[in-house]
A and B are shown apart, each in its own frame.
Chain A
Amino acid sequence: MSEATAPAPARRPLRPARVLLHVFLAAVAVSWLFPILWAVLTSLRSYEYTAANGYVSLGGWTFDNYVTAWRTAEFGQHFLNSVYITVPAVLLTLFLASCVAFVIARFSWRTNLILLGLFTAANLLPQQALLIPLFRLFTQVPLPEFMSDSELLYDSYWGLILVNVAFQCGFCVFVLSNYMKALPRDLYEAAMVDGASVWRQYWQVTMPLCRPALAALATLEVTWIYNEFFWATVLMRTGDKFPVTSSLNNLRGEFFTDNNLVSAGSVLVAIPTLVIFFLLQKQFVRGLTLGASKG
Chain B
Amino acid sequence: MSDLPLVQADRAVPPPAATTTTGGRGRRLRLLSRTDRVVIALMVLVPLLLVVALVWLPALATVALSTTDWDGIGPVSEIEFVGARNYSDVVNIYPPFVPAVQNNLLWLAALFVVATPIGMFLAVLLDKELRGTRFYQTALYLPVVLSLALIGFVWQLIYSRDQGLLNGVFGTDVDWYGDPDVNIWAVLVAAGWRHVGYIMLLYLAGLKGVDPSLREAAAVDGASEPSTFFKVVFPVMRPINIIVLVVTVIESLRAFDLVWVINKGRNGLELISALVTANVVGEASRIGFGSALATIMLVVSLVFITVYLATVMREDRR
Contact string against B for A residues 1-22, beta-carbon threshold 8 Å, 1 for contact and 0 otherwise:
1111110111000000010011
**Nearest opposing residue in chain B for A137, CB measure:** B58
List chain B residues, Cβ under 8 A from A29: 135-136, 139-140
A202 to chain B, nearest CB (A): 7
Residue A214 lies at the interface, judged by CB distance under 8 Å to chain B: no
List chain A residues, Cβ under 8 A from B188: none
Q: Count residues on chain B whose CB falls below 8 Å from chain A CBs.
A: 124
| Inter-chain contact B9/A108, CB cutoff 8 Å | yes
List chain A residues, Cβ under 8 A from B165: 38, 55-56
List chain B residues, Cβ under 8 A from A211: none
Docked complex Cα distance between A178 and B315 (Å) = 10
Residue B220 lies at the interface, judged by CB distance under 8 Å to chain A: no
Residue A227 lies at the interface, judged by CB distance under 8 Å to chain B: yes
Nearest 4 interchain pairs by C-beta: A227-B147, A29-B139, A289-B205, A166-B54
| Inter-chain contact B56/A99, CB cutoff 8 Å | no
| Inter-chain contact B301/A39, CB cutoff 8 Å | no
Residue A210 lies at the interface, judged by CB distance under 8 Å to chain B: no
**Nearest opposing residue in chain A for B309, CB measure:** A117
Residue A167 lies at the interface, judged by CB distance under 8 Å to chain B: yes
**A interface residues, Cβ below 8 angstroms from B:** 1-6, 8-10, 18, 21-22, 24-26, 28-30, 32-33, 35-36, 38-39, 42, 50-51, 54-56, 96-97, 99-100, 102-103, 107-111, 113, 115-122, 124-137, 162-163, 165-167, 169-170, 173-174, 178, 181, 185-186, 189, 192-193, 197-199, 202, 223, 226-230, 233-234, 245-246, 248-249, 252, 257, 259, 262-263, 265-266, 269-270, 273-274, 276-277, 281, 284-285, 288-289, 292-295
| Inter-chain contact B147/A189, CB cutoff 8 Å | no
| Inter-chain contact A126/B33, CB cutoff 8 Å | no
| Inter-chain contact B201/A202, CB cutoff 8 Å | no
**Nearest opposing residue in chain B for A136, CB measure:** B72
Q: Which of A193, A198, A273 contacts B145 (CB 8 A)?
A: A273
| Inter-chain contact A288/B61, CB cutoff 8 Å | no
Docked complex Cα distance between A116 and B316 (Å) = 12
List chain B residues, Cβ under 8 A from A173: 47
List chain B residues, Cβ under 8 A from A233: 260
| Inter-chain contact B163/A50, CB cutoff 8 Å | yes
Q: Report B266-289 residues with CB < 8 Å from chain A CB.
A: 272-273, 276-277, 280-281, 287
| Inter-chain contact B168/A55, CB cutoff 8 Å | yes
| Inter-chain contact A108/B10, CB cutoff 8 Å | yes
Residue B250 lies at the interface, judged by CB distance under 8 Å to chain A: yes
List chain A residues, Cβ under 8 A from B290: 132
Which one, B12-20, B84-92, B107-115, B226-234, is touching chain A?
B12-20
Docked complex Cα distance between A285 and B39 (Å) = 34
List chain B residues, Cβ under 8 A from A128: 254, 256, 272-273, 276-277, 294, 297
Chain B CB within 10 Å, residue with most, of A54, A118, A226, A292: A292
| Inter-chain contact A248/B136, CB cutoff 8 Å | no
| Inter-chain contact A178/B35, CB cutoff 8 Å | no
Chain A CB within 10 Å, residue with most, of B33, B39, B125, B150: B150
List chain B residues, Cβ under 8 A from A4: 129-130, 133-134, 137
Q: Which of B5, B140, B141, B304 contacts A110 (CB 8 A)?
A: B5
**Nearest opposing residue in chain A for B317, CB measure:** A113
A2 to chain B, nearest CB (A): 6
Residue B120 lies at the interface, judged by CB distance under 8 Å to chain A: no
Q: Which of A18, A198, A248, A295 contacts B208 (CB 8 A)?
A: A295
